[in-house]
Amino acid sequence: MTPAGPPAQENTDDPGARGSLTISERAVERIASHAALEVDGIGGSAPRVLGVTVGAEEAERNVRIAARITGAVVALDVRLSITYPAPVGSTAESARTHLISRVHALTGLSVLKVDITVTALHRAVVTPRRIR
């Protein structure tokens, strides 16, 4: 009986010899969007068309992120909302720090910069109490 394919190569510990992995900008955007929502007080942003907001700014929307990858480095442009009365500066800084660590941990890419635009402030969502 003859073997079905080429002979198996030696298992090597050199990652470069095994191939490469390319992560798309869209994948990084989705990872970063979910990571941003892990921060307390952060909400989403309405989409824009030609610079005009389409729909209402609601906290339940996804955080809008544009990623630009150059080699093993990524830059993020983030559009989000913050729950009022949380301090805008410290909440945005918490989001920036969290994005840098989570994107690096999940993709292996170094985050060069994170530009954050706060598009709206929202009241905290209070779930109505049920009357029995």
Region of 121 (left: φ > 0; alpha: ψ -120 to 50; beta: rest) is: beta
How far apart CA 23 and CA 68 sit, in angstroms, is 11
Whether a cis peptide bond, with omega within 30° of 0, leads into 85 is yes
Does the structure show a pLDDT above 60 at 39?
yes
DSSP string over 3-66: -SSSPPPPP-S-HHHH------HHHHHHHHHHHHTTSTTEE----EETTEE-S---TTSPPEEE
Tell me the pLDDT band of 32, cut-offs 50, 70 and 90. very high
Taking the domains of the chain in order of start, what are their residue ranges?
A: 23-123
What is the rounded average pLDDT for all residues in the chain?
Answer: 82
For residue 86, the 8-state DSSP code is S
For residue 71, the 8-state DSSP code is T
- Read off the amino acid at residue 95: A
How far apart CA 80 and CA 95 sit, in angstroms, is 10
Q: Against a cut of 0.75, is the pTM above it? A: no
How far apart CA 67 and CA 71 sit, in angstroms, is 13
Tell me the pLDDT band of 132, cut-offs 50, 70 and 90. low
* Interval 64-79: pLDDT, tens: 999 999 999 999 999 9
For residue 85, the 8-state DSSP code is T
* Interval 92-130: pLDDT, tens: 999 999 999 999 999 999 999 999 999 888 877 656 666
In CATH, which of 3.30.70.1350, 3.20.20.60, 3.40.50.2300, 3.20.20.70 is domain 23-123?
A: 3.30.70.1350
The confidence score (pLDDT) of residue 8 equals 59
